[in-house]
């Protein structure tokens, strides 16, 4: 028996007992109970008041913003009403209409555009030329609300030319109180956006909510239902100022909510509880430091014991971490108490065994993967070999499809699935008669019907291999068309799996740029132009855009030898 094994070591129980007895906990507990708790609630209350004031201030600013915008809007509506009364004409289509709207935009105002129309949609627009579906949608909602005599206060949204904006609309009434039209404003939301950013710099998260508790602003939070917070649920039932600690999926927060009023929204302010109560934490830390000064003498002996215990454990933990990060075979020095020394020896043996086993598993995995890929390529080459004119077709289509997928920014694993799907896209031809596949002239209707079965046959063949389940969609549907009418199922648009949309472009590209019995290889620029022309008809426009970009980068370079003839055009219509 070696000296290391024969030497008697201190038991872990003895060492741990000595450390616990030596370290006096009573003064620390008294300090916690008498000093810390006395001030903790006071500091927490101050932080809650600060957050309450913050939510209320933002809510008041949003309310004041809309009040100011409404006043400008009502002024424009009143001016249009007076103009109509004095002139006796439709103020929305008179020469006064644009002048009134332009005057309302003058000076310091958050209004950036105005539209005044009667209830048949005829009128004037002043301001920047904004082409946005969302602006049109909000204007339409404002028009409908005003037609019913209601004031419309729209939600904020973003347009590239103006940033964050919102639509306000107010009805224009005649002297009898009846509605004769509507004036709508596009309001810049930049002051509110800046205030939200200022709050974010103070490590506070501010969210604008509607009365149902869903987030309106900022965009990152839009559409999220915040009713997971109890104070939001209470706010939905009855809008009032509330502040309390909450538990969220991001951890504990201190939250406060305040109603805006008009619009009928709420401002939710959240701050990480640890940050919010940092002053409490500092107070606790300072108290503990002062208490620790009185315990220094008693702790010295405990630290001596702890070092004997912690150093070997720390070394063992470091080596364990190295193994978890892939550094198999890491070892630790055998030292410390008897239990820790035995654990270290067991760890070293385990580490060596893991290294050996992992090397073996990696080697087997590489061999299996290489065998799998070789089998796939062999199968594809066997199918291509049925027709001497298509030899290498599957490999080329696979390369083209992978290039397009990478250009689209798809994940690496999805690119690999698309590459395999393209490699196997014609595997179903193994079930089609050779005379049909090799026929140098046009196929009869019955022959073409038999040829159209190859995607389904290929999918059925590959479905027996579980590892290829994810590549079957590209094989089965690579003859579908973007606008429908393809085979085997006549899918269209987004119904067609992305794999198949990519494979069909790659398949057509190779078919048109290689020589076949019924056509000569076409000039590559012509082929690319023709494929681009059929974007949105046969092909997914997004895929075609990526295909064209890859071609322009020089990543798609087949051999093309001639320009199309009349016979080539016939083939082209069939290919496309």
β-strand partners of 183: 116, 170
268-277, 324-333, 350-359, 360-369: least confidently modelled range: 360-369
Please give the pLDDT value at position 182: 92
Pure H helices in 106-260? 133-147, 190-201, 230-237
Q: Is the pLDDT of residue 92 over 90?
A: no
Q: What is the DSSP string of 62-119?
A: HHHHHHHHHHHHHHHHHHHHHHHHHH-S-TTTSTHHHHHHHHHHSSS-SEEEEEEEET
pLDDT at 576 over 50: no
Which band of pLDDT confidence, cut at 50, 70 and 90, is reported for residue 561? very low
- 441, 518 Cβ separation under 8 angstroms: yes
CA angle 389, 395, 397 (to 5 degrees): 85
Whether 400 shows a pLDDT value over 90: the answer reads yes
Quick check: bond before 244 cis, omega within 30?
Answer: no
Q: Judge whether residue 381 has pLDDT over 90.
A: no
- pTM listed for this prediction: 0.45
User: Residue 94: is its pLDDT beyond 80?
Assistant: yes
Can you tell me the distance from the alpha carbon of 549 to that of 544, in angstroms, rounded to the nearest whole number? 9
- Residue 435: band (very low, low, confident or very high) from pLDDT cuts 50, 70, 90: confident
Question: Are residues 459 and 479 in contact, defined by beta-carbon separation less than 8 angstroms?
Answer: no
pLDDT band at 570 (very low <50, low <70, confident <90, very high): very low
Bridging pattern class, strands 179-188 and 242-248: unpaired
Q: What percent of the chain has pLDDT over 90?
A: 16
Most confident of 32-36, 65-69, 532-536: 532-536
Quick: pLDDT tens for 172-193: 888 777 788 899 999 988 888 8
pLDDT tier at 3, thresholds 50, 70, 90? very low
pLDDT in tens, 488-523: 999 999 999 999 999 999 999 988 888 666 667 788
Which range has the top average pLDDT, 15-24, 267-276, 283-292, 366-375? 267-276
Largest CA distance in the chain: 117
* 3-class state of residue 63 by DSSP: helix
Residue 351 has a CB neighbour count (10 Å cut-off) of 19
User: Model confidence at 70, in pLDDT bands (50, 70, 90)?
Assistant: confident
Distant-in-sequence, close-in-space partners of 53: CB < 8 Å, separation ≥ 6: none
* Segment 222-236, tens digit of pLDDT: 767 778 888 888 888
Are 152 and 263 contacting, i.e. CB atoms less than 8 angstroms apart?
no
- Report d(CA 390, CA 527) in Å as an integer: 18
Report residue 349 as tokens: 């043996």
Confidence label for 430 from pLDDT (cuts 50, 70 and 90): confident
Q: List 502's β-bridge partners, or say none.
A: none
> Residue 33: what pLDDT?
62
Average pLDDT over residues 425-439: 77
Residue 562 predicted with pLDDT over 60: no
**Structural domains of the chain, with CATH:** 40-53+192-278 (3.30.450.20), 62-190 (3.30.450.20), 385-575 (1.10.3210.10)
Of residues 315 and 455, the one with the higher pLDDT is 455
Of the given ranges (92-96, 255-259, 557-561, 569-573), which has the lowest mean pLDDT?
569-573
Burial of 374 (0-12, 13-18, 19+ CB in 10 A): exposed
More confident call, 246 vs 278: 246
Q: Does residue 364 have a pLDDT over 90?
A: no
Give the tokens for residue 284: 């606790």
Residue 306 binned pLDDT confidence (cut-offs 50, 70, 90): low
**Higher pLDDT pick, 328 / 548:** 548
Average pLDDT score over residue span 140-155: 88
Q: Residue 479: what pLDDT?
A: 92
Comparing 66-70, 137-141, 169-173, 278-282, which segment has the lowest mean pLDDT?
278-282
Quick one: average pLDDT of 368-396? Answer: 62
Side-chain half-sphere exposure of 99, counting CA atoms within 13 A: 5
% pLDDT > 70, the chain: 71
Between residues 194 and 87, the one the model is more confident about: 194
Based on DSSP, count helices (H) and strands (E) in the chain, helices before strands: 21, 11
Q: What is the pLDDT of residue 516?
A: 64
Question: Residue 243's beta-bridge partner residues?
Answer: 256
Least confident of 29-33, 145-149, 312-316, 423-427: 29-33
Which of 155, 139, 153 lies closest to 208, judged by CA? 155
Rg of the chain over all Cα atoms, to the nearest angstrom: 37
Which uninterrupted H or E stretch holds 270? strand 266-272
pLDDT value of residue 573: 42
Q: Mean pLDDT score of the chain, rounded to an integer?
A: 78
- Average pLDDT of the segment spanning 263-273: 87
Distance of alpha carbon 258 from alpha carbon 243, whole angstroms: 9
Angstrom distance (rounded) from CA 527 to CA 560: 9
């Amino acid at each position: 028996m070696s000296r290391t094994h024969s030497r008697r070591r201190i038991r872990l129980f003895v060492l741990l007992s000595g450390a616990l007895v030596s370290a006096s906990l009573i003064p620390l507990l008294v300090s916690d109970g008498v000093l810390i708790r006395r001030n903790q609630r006071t500091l927490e209350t101050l932080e809650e008041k600060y957050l309450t004031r913050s939510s209320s201030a933002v809510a008041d600013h949003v309310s004041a913003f809309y009040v100011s915008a409404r006043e400008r809007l009502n002024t424009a509506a009143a001016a249009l009403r007076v103009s109509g009364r004095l002139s006796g004409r439709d103020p929305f289509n008179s020469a006064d209409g644009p002048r009134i709207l332009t005057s309302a935009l003058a000076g310091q105002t958050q209004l950036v555009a105005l539209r005044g129309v009667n209830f048949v949609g005829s009128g004037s627009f002043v301001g920047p030329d904004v082409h946005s579906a969302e602006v049109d949608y909000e204007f339409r909602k404002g028009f409908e609300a005003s037609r019913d005599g209601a004031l419309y206060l729209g939600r904020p949204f973003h347009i590239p030319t103006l940033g964050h904006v919102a639509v306000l609309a107010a009805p224009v009434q005649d002297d009898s109180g009846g509605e004769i039209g509507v004036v709508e404003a596009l309001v810049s939301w930049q002051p509110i956006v800046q205030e939200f950013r200022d709050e974010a710099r103070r490590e506070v998260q501010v969210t604008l909510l509607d009365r149902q508790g869903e987030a309106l602003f900022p965009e990152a939070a839009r559409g999220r239902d915040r009713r997971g917070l109890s104070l939001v649920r209470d706010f939905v039932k009855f809008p009032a100022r509330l502040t309390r600690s909450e538990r969220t999926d991001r951890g504990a927060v201190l939250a406060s909510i305040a109603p805006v009023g008009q619009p009928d929204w709420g401002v939710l302010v959240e701050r990480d509880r640890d940050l919010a109560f940092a002053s409490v934490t500092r107070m606790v830390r300072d108290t503990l430091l002062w208490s620790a000064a009185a315990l220094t003498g008693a702790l010295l002996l405990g630290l001596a014991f702890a070092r004997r215990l912690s150093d070997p454990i720390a070394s063992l933990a470091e080596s364990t971490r190295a193994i978890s990060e892939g550094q198999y075979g890491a070892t630790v020095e055998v030292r410390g108490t008897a239990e820790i020394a035995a654990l270290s020896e067991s760890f070293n043996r385990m580490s060596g065994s893991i290294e050996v086993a992992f090397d073996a598993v990696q080697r087997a995995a590489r061999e299996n993967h290489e065998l799998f890929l070789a089998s796939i390529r062999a199968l594809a080459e066997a199918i291509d070999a049925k027709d001497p004119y298509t030899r290498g077709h599957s490999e080329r289509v696979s390369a083209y499809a992978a290039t397009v997928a990478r250009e689209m920014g798809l994940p690496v694993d999805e690119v690999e699935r698309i590459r395999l799907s393209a490699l196997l896209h014609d595997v179903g031809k193994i079930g089609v008669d050779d005379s049909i596949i090799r026929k140098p002239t046009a196929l009869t209707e019955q022959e073409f019907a038999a040829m159209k079965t190859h995607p389904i046959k290929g999918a059925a063949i590959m479905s027996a291999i579980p590892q290829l389940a994810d590549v079957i969609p590209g094989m089965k549907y690579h003859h579908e068309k973007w606008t429908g009418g393809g085979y085997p199922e006549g899918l269209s648009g987004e119904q067609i799996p992305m794999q198949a949309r990519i494979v069909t472009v790659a398949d057509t590209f190779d078919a048109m740029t290689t020589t076949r019995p019924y056509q000569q290889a076409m000039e590559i620029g012509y082929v690319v132009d023709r494929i681009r022309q059929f974007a949105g008809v046969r092909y997914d426009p997004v895929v075609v855009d990526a295909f064209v970009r890859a071609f322009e980068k020089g990543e798609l370079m087949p051999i093309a030898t001639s320009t199309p003839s009349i016979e080539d055009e016939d083939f082209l219509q069939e290919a496309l």
